[in-house]
């Protein structure tokens, strides 16, 4: 398939049938941003010359249909013909199908591209039509396909218009998938490398929207260094930061947990001559809420309600200058320089007075709802209810509760187990003229499942379909499958999975992994493996680390270590490194199987990963399981290494448990007086490790009164220390 071919590394050679041959005519793609421009592209951007292949009469008729915007008829005429139309007709047909952006039209566009690929005729398509296809597929959610199209264009010598490639970067940067922001930056870098090699100006040069998309990817990754590098590259392309750039900078400071820098971002924006938007202030409120500073968030919202313009002064007074312990001083210094340079160079000239906002801003429902989410996080349910009532009394309709507000109220009530009150919110929404949508129903559905009230959950599904006219979607079924897991009903989980497919709803990654979880937790790893195999065969989903971990856990729960290790090897071969969850499952499986030798091998791998870059951060479950196995097997030196690692990572070892294991299993280990000298010599090092471990536990040992150590020490001819 095209996606598989296009997704190969940038350095890989391109098969001849996938290569685009640049047209001898100059390429001047037009912007694809606005609907008017897209319509112009689909209607007028292609020359009216007759096609060079096939029947001239047929191509002329096809071109006439396209000019009349009769795209469906044109596609049907194209599909019936055994001969390919000329480049003009093909490019224009692809452009108009992409412009429609309906599922049917995009499916036809991809079928057209697939046919040209199979016949080795992809070079007939021009860059404008391919760029429009990339934008349309990205906006429809098929970001991987859009990325493949752009990569193929770049490898074939085409430079897509900035509006085309930046749209894909924007989608990738906001992708919930961990690989999305990374792919966004790789695409951004690929385009910039080619743009820098072009001597003349090109429409592919990045604009402020492209940089903002890449900066957003850095913020989502928490990559301060890359963020600062991109900021420094903006002047090279004549790009100045705009309001959205500063909004992303607020997000970056929040991700870096630099609450002390947020005020300076706002001051930087104002002193730059830019006018903040309501999203800027919402970003500030969200940042303070996310950093658990509800007091400052409340002050900010209250000042806006009063129409005050001295928000910078209020935030300065609230800024205690505290931030987290700075592990990476260099990265924090870069962020400080980026945020505060204008403050340091310009604010001293006016007595360091905080600037005023150019106008008054009033909070909207989105801002109130963000503050309410902070209340939910702290369990302040009554404050959530109080704010909802206050919003209902606001004079400005923009401040009235909306779907998100009411859904937040439901979440707060669910958190404290008040399911009846949560259900009554649906009636309140109807009375307020804000009928519940599918998201609201799904939140309530999840609440019932978490409270193990599956009968009420089933009733809610029937109610949302019968009375609200809302059919359950894939998220609804995933919630129901997960609910079955909570009550140990793997058969019910499978029934919901099959019902979902029977209703024509495509399973997602979560659907497959949740069903695998149902079988793994119920002791049926082979059924979990069957689901995994089906997931691998489904072209609409991509197997990820979560799926591998779920399968590994299924085998480890039964102590089937060899089967689990095979999955780990397959996981590595497919480019997924084991994480803490993987190692934790293996450690628990090893403990269940009573294979201490495997524990030593696993600990060695974990140590290597901890010393690698980026380092693995082991959790308490993993280290405790490994330490437990080592103590039981009398591997005291390794046990000491593990507990030392626990203490280094801020984890308190369970000395009481290890002391009990030692006393029950090893208290008489070295008491035999009849062992041969050779056997005593072999046990000498082991005994020293045992004494050191007893010293750490606080049990009587030979180290009292001296410093214990694990390094070799001198012994006399009789073996005494």
Query: Tens digit of pLDDT for each residue in 133-142?
Result: 999 999 988 8
DSSP one-letter string for 518-582 = HHHHTT-HHHHHHHHHHHHH-TTS---HHHHHHHHHHHHTTT-HHHHHHHHHHHHHTT----HHH
How far apart (Å, rounded) are the C-alpha atoms in residues 670 and 689?
A: 12
Question: Cα dist. 230→64, 188, 207, 208 in Å?
Answer: 47, 10, 12, 11
Residues 436-459, mean pLDDT to the nearest whole number: 93
Which is more confident, 45 or 93? 93
In this predicted model, what pLDDT tens digit does every residue of 421-433 receive, in sequence order? Answer: 999 998 888 888 8
Q: For residue 614, is the peptide bond before it cis, meaning its omega torsion is within 30 degrees of 0?
A: yes
Residues 148-174, mean pLDDT to the nearest whole number: 91
How far apart (Å, rounded) are the C-alpha atoms in residues 557 and 522?
A: 9
How far apart (Å, rounded) are the C-alpha atoms in residues 184 and 174?
A: 9
Exposed (0-12), middle (13-18) or buried (19+): which is 493, by Cβ within 10 Å? buried
Compute the C-alpha angle 419/422/423, nearest 5°. Answer: 90
| Domain architecture of the chain: domains with CATH | 1-198 (1.25.40)
Q: What is the pLDDT of residue 710?
A: 45
How far apart (Å, rounded) are the C-alpha atoms in residues 417 and 425?
A: 14
Band (pLDDT 50/70/90 cuts) for residue 56 is confident
Residues 180-195, mean pLDDT to the nearest whole number: 92
Q: Is 320 left (phi over 0), alpha (psi -120 to 50) or beta?
A: alpha
Contact predicate 511/537, CB 8 Å: no
Q: What is the pLDDT of residue 250?
A: 94
Band (pLDDT 50/70/90 cuts) for residue 667 is low
Question: Cα dist. 605→98, 581, 588 in Å?
Answer: 49, 14, 16
Min mean pLDDT across 95-104, 194-203, 472-481, 655-664 is at: 194-203
Residues 580-595, mean pLDDT to the nearest whole number: 91
Q: Which residues of 116-136 are buried (b: 16+ CB within 10 A; e: fewer)?
A: bbeeeebbbbbbbbbbbbbbb
| High-pLDDT (> 90) share of the chain, % | 45
Band (pLDDT 50/70/90 cuts) for residue 715 is very low
Q: Which residues of 146-180 are buried (b: 16+ CB within 10 A; e: fewer)?
A: bbbbbbbbbbbebbbbbbbbbbbbbbbbebeeeeb
Q: What is the pLDDT of residue 676?
A: 63
Min mean pLDDT across 350-359, 427-436, 454-463 is at: 350-359
Q: What is the pLDDT of residue 701?
A: 62
Asked whether the predicted pLDDT for residue 92 surpasses 60, the reply is: yes
How far apart (Å, rounded) are the C-alpha atoms in residues 460 and 464?
A: 6
In this predicted model, what pLDDT tens digit does every residue of 471-500 receive, in sequence order? Answer: 999 999 999 999 999 998 989 999 999 999
CB-based contacts of 58, cutoff 8 Å, min separation 6: 77, 81, 83, 85
Contact predicate 695/709, CB 8 Å: no
The winner for highest mean pLDDT among 14-28, 49-63, 562-576 is 562-576
Q: What is the pLDDT of residue 54?
A: 46
Residues 509-528, mean pLDDT to the nearest whole number: 91
Q: What is the pLDDT of residue 178?
A: 52
Q: What is the pLDDT of residue 7?
A: 33
The winner for highest mean pLDDT among 275-284, 314-323, 645-654 is 275-284
Residues 661-668, mean pLDDT to the nearest whole number: 78
Question: Cα dist. 343→129, 264, 349, 579 in Å?
Answer: 46, 7, 10, 42
How far apart (Å, rounded) are the C-alpha atoms in residues 495 and 621?
A: 33
- Looking at every residue in the chain, the average pLDDT score rounds to 83
Q: What is the largest CA-CA distance in the chain?
A: 106
Any alpha helices (H) in 198-322, and if so which ranges? 208-221, 224-233, 243-255, 262-271, 278-290, 294-305, 311-318
Total residue count of the chain as it appears in this document: 721
**Residue 362 DSSP symbol:** -
CB-based contacts of 152, cutoff 8 Å, min separation 6: 2, 5, 6, 14, 18, 20, 122
How far apart (Å, rounded) are the C-alpha atoms in residues 72 and 341?
A: 56
Identify the CA nearest to 123 among candidates 28, 216, 21, 191: 21
Asked whether the predicted pLDDT for residue 449 surpasses 60, the reply is: yes
Which is more confident, 684 or 230? 230
Exposed (0-12), middle (13-18) or buried (19+): which is 514, by Cβ within 10 Å? buried
Asked whether the predicted pLDDT for residue 581 surpasses 60, the reply is: yes
Q: What is the pLDDT of residue 132?
A: 93
Contact predicate 490/518, CB 8 Å: yes
How far apart (Å, rounded) are the C-alpha atoms in residues 46 and 88?
A: 6
Q: What is the pLDDT of residue 320?
A: 67
Q: Which residues of 647-677 are buried (b: 16+ CB within 10 A; e: fewer)?
A: eeeebebeeeebbebbeeebeeeeeeeeeee
Residues 376-403, mean pLDDT to the nearest whole number: 88
Q: What is the pLDDT of residue 247?
A: 95
Band (pLDDT 50/70/90 cuts) for residue 570 is very high
Min mean pLDDT across 169-178, 184-193, 684-693, 699-708 is at: 699-708
Decide: pTM greater than 0.85.
no
């Amino acid at each position: 398939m095209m996606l598989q071919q296009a997704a190969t590394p940038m350095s890989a050679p391109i098969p001849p049938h996938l290569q685009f041959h640049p047209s001898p005519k100059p390429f001047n793609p037009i912007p694809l941003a606005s609907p008017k421009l897209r319509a112009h592209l689909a209607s007028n951007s292609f020359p009216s010359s007759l096609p060079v292949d096939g029947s001239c009469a047929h191509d002329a008729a096809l071109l006439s249909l396209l000019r009349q915007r009769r795209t469906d008829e044109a596609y049907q005429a194209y599909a019936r013909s055994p001969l390919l139309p000329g480049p003009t007709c093909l490019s224009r047909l692809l452009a108009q199908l992409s412009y429609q952006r309906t599922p049917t039209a995009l499916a036809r566009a991809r079928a057209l591209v697939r046919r040209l690929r199979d016949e080795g005729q992809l070079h007939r398509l021009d860059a404008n039509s391919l760029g429009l296809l990339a934008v349309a597929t990205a906006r429809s959610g098929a970001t991987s396909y859009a990325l493949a199209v752009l990569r193929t264009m770049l490898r074939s010598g085409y430079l897509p218009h900035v509006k085309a490639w930046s749209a894909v970067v924007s989608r990738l940067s906001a992708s919930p998938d961990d690989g999305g922001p990374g792919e966004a930056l790789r695409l951004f870098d690929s385009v910039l490398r080619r743009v820098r090699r072009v001597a003349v100006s090109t429409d592919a040069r990045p604009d402020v929207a492209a940089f903002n998309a890449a900066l957003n990817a850095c913020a989502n990754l928490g990559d301060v260094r890359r963020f600062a590098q991109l900021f420094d590259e903006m002047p090279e392309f004549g790009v100045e930061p705009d309001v959205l750039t500063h909004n992303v900078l607020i997000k970056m400071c929040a991700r870096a947990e630099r609450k002390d820098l947020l005020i300076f971002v706002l001051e930087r924006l104002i002193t730059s001559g830019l006018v903040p938007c309501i999203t800027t202030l919402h970003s500030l409120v969200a940042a303070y809420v996310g950093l658990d500073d509800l007091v400052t968030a409340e002050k900010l919202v209250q000042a806006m309600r009063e129409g005050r313009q001295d928000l910078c002064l209020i935030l300065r007074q609230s800024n205690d200058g505290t931030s987290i312990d700075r592990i990476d001083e260099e990265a924090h210094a870069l962020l400080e320089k980026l945020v505060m340079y204008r403050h340091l160079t310009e604010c001293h000239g006016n007595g360091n007075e905080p600037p005023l906002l150019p106008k008054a801003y009033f909070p909207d429902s989105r801002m109130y709802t963000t503050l309410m989410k902070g209340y939910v996080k702290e369990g302040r349910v009554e404050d959530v209810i109080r704010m909802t009532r206050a919003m209902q009394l606001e004079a400005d309709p923009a401040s009235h509760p909306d779907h998100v507000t009411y859904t937040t109220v439901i979440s707060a009530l669910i958190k404290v187990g008040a399911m009846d009150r949560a259900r009554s919110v649906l009636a309140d929404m109807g009375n307020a003229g804000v009928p519940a949508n599918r998201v609201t129903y799904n939140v309530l559905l999840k609440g019932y499942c978490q409270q193990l009230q599956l009968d009420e959950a089933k009733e809610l599904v029937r109610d949302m379909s019968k009375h609200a006219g809302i059919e359950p979607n894939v998220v609804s079924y995933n919630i129901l499958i997960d609910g079955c897991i909570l009550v140990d009903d793997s058969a019910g989980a499978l029934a919901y999975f099959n019902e979902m497919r029977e209703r024509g709803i495509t399973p997602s990654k979560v659907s497959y992994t949740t069903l695998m979880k149902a079988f793994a937790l119920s002791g049926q790893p082979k059924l979990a493996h069957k689901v995994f195999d089906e997931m691998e065969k489904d072209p609409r989903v991509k197997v990820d680390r979560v799926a591998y971990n779920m399968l590994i856990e299924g085998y480890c729960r039964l102590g089937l270590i060899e089967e689990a290790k095979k999955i780990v090897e397959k996981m590595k071969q497919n480019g997924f490194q084991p994480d803490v969850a993987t190692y934790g499952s293996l450690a628990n499986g090893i403990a269940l199987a009573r294979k201490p030798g495997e524990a030593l091998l696993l600990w060695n791998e974990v140590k290597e990963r901890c010393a690698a870059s980026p380092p693995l951060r082991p959790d308490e479950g993993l280290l405790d399981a490994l330490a437990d196995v080592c103590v039981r097997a009398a591997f005291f030196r390794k046990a000491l290494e593990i507990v030392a690692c626990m203490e280094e990572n801020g984890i308190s070892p369970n000395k009481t448990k290890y002391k009990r294991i030692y006393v029950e299993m090893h208290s008489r280990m070295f008491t035999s007086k009849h062992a041969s000298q050779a056997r005593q010599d072999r046990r000498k090092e082991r005994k020293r490790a045992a004494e050191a471990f007893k010293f750490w536990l606080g049990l009587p040992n030979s180290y009292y009164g001296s410093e214990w150590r694990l390094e070799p020490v001198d012994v006399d001819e009789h073996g005494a220390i």
